[in-house]
Each structure stands twice: as structure tokens, then as C-alpha cells.
Amino acid sequence: MMKQPNTQPVSEMMLRETASQTAGPYVHIGLALAAAGNPERDEEIWSEMAKPDATGEHIEIVGTVIDGNGDLVRDAFLEAWQADAEGHYQADYDLRKPFNSFGRTATIAEQGSEWSLKTIKPGAVAHPNGKLMAPHINLAIFARGVNIHLQTRLYFDDEVEANRECPVLSRVESDNRRQTLIAKREEADGITRYRFDIRLQGPGETIFFDF
């Protein structure tokens, strides 16, 4: 008797989640068409989360993804999810809007294996305990050799007070590890830019979350 897929109960009420597999080296074909060298469709989900008329402080975020050998990962694909300047998640993705809470990017070999996002600084979002979390961006990392995507948070180094009070960030006991979640501000060409390098393994390994 052949088993029906995806109908294996873990309790009488529940199905098992479909299992994850690596996005592989060619994830760009499906989710980052230009990075694969392929033509784009009319609308693509990509890295310009904020258009010039979006409300808030306009920022650029750049970074790399580094493996356990200290080498740059040249085929990583990332997804960002963040609140708007008022601290609200805008679920409705619509490219006609000035700002979208969701964005995608990839490390591009021709651009120094860096990823980048054009966005606005997110506002603070309330934690269920009532306190405010410091401004942050959720990042998911997919790549060849990554069997299930890694989830992290990017915080900002110029939010010293808010970072200290953040109910999530303050749960990290190790100061060294907490630093792996904090993007460093750099002023360049009149643009406010933050750098956030993600270390998958080894010294300075980024904190990854389970939720």
C-alpha cells in the first residue's frame, strides 16, 4: 500500500511539515532572476524596499556572508522583513507603494560578493511583554550547503539606548555574541550605510534564531 505524501499525522490532528532542502547554487533562477543572468518579469521582488518618497530615514545596508573557512559565500540569497518607520509591519506587498516591509537580495560575485538593501530605518516594534524592541530587520539566509534557511536579526550600532533595553537583544548573555547582531554605521557619499557581515560558522559566528 503506497503511503500518501504529507498526510502523516504527528497527532490525530496534525500533519508533518514538508521537509526543507537547500536552495542550491541556482536559487537565483527562481528568486533573483537578474543575478542568474536571466531576463526579469514585469514585477520582481527585490532589494529596493524603499523608494525615494518613502517616509523615514533612508539607509543602505551592505554585507557579506562568510563561511567557516573565512571565505566569502558567493551564492547566498537573503530575505529581509522589517517594520516601517512607525514600527508597523506592512504585510501588503505592492510595488506601487513607496515602502515594502519585505525585500530580497543576494551576494553578487561581481560586486565583491556583497549583498545590499535600500530601505528605511525601521521603527521600534513592541514585544509581547509590552516593552519596545530596538529597531531591527529580520534576515533569512539561503544558500547551497544550507539545508534549512538561517534566521537572524540585524540591529543598529547607533541605537545604543534602545539596544540595551531590547527584550530580545538583552537576552544574549555573551557580549561578543551580541555584537554579531549589530550593524556598523558608515557614512559614505552622503548616504547612510550600515555594514552587516554574516558569519555562518566559527570565530564571530552570527547568532541564528529558532522561532
Q: Which residues bind Fe ion (CB under 5 A)?
A: 24
| 118 counts as binding other proteins under rule CB under 8 A | no
Beta strand pairing call for 14-15 and 9-11: antiparallel
CB 144, min distance to Fe ion, A: 10
CB 158, min distance to other proteins, A: 20
Instruction: Work out the number of other CB atoms within 10 angstroms of the CB of residue 26.
Output: 10
Binder of residue 132, out of other proteins, Fe ion, none (CB less than 5 to 8 A by kind): none
| 140 counts as binding other proteins under rule CB under 8 A | yes
CB 25, min distance to Fe ion, A: 8
CB 6, min distance to Fe ion, A: 21
Tell me how far apart the alpha carbons of residues 25 and 145 are, in angstroms, rounded to a whole number.
9
| 165 counts as binding other proteins under rule CB under 8 A | no
Tell me how far apart the alpha carbons of residues 95 and 72 are, in angstroms, rounded to a whole number.
31
Q: Kindly indicate which of the ranges 50-58, 70-78, 113-121, 156-164 contains the residues binding other proteins, using the contact rule CB under 8 A.
A: 70-78
State the cell numbers at 151: 534566521
DSSP-derived 3-state class of residue 178: helix
Total of chain residues touching other proteins, rule CB under 8 A = 85
Going from the C-alpha of 46 to that of each of 20, 67, 127, 178, the distances in angstroms are: 23, 24, 28, 28
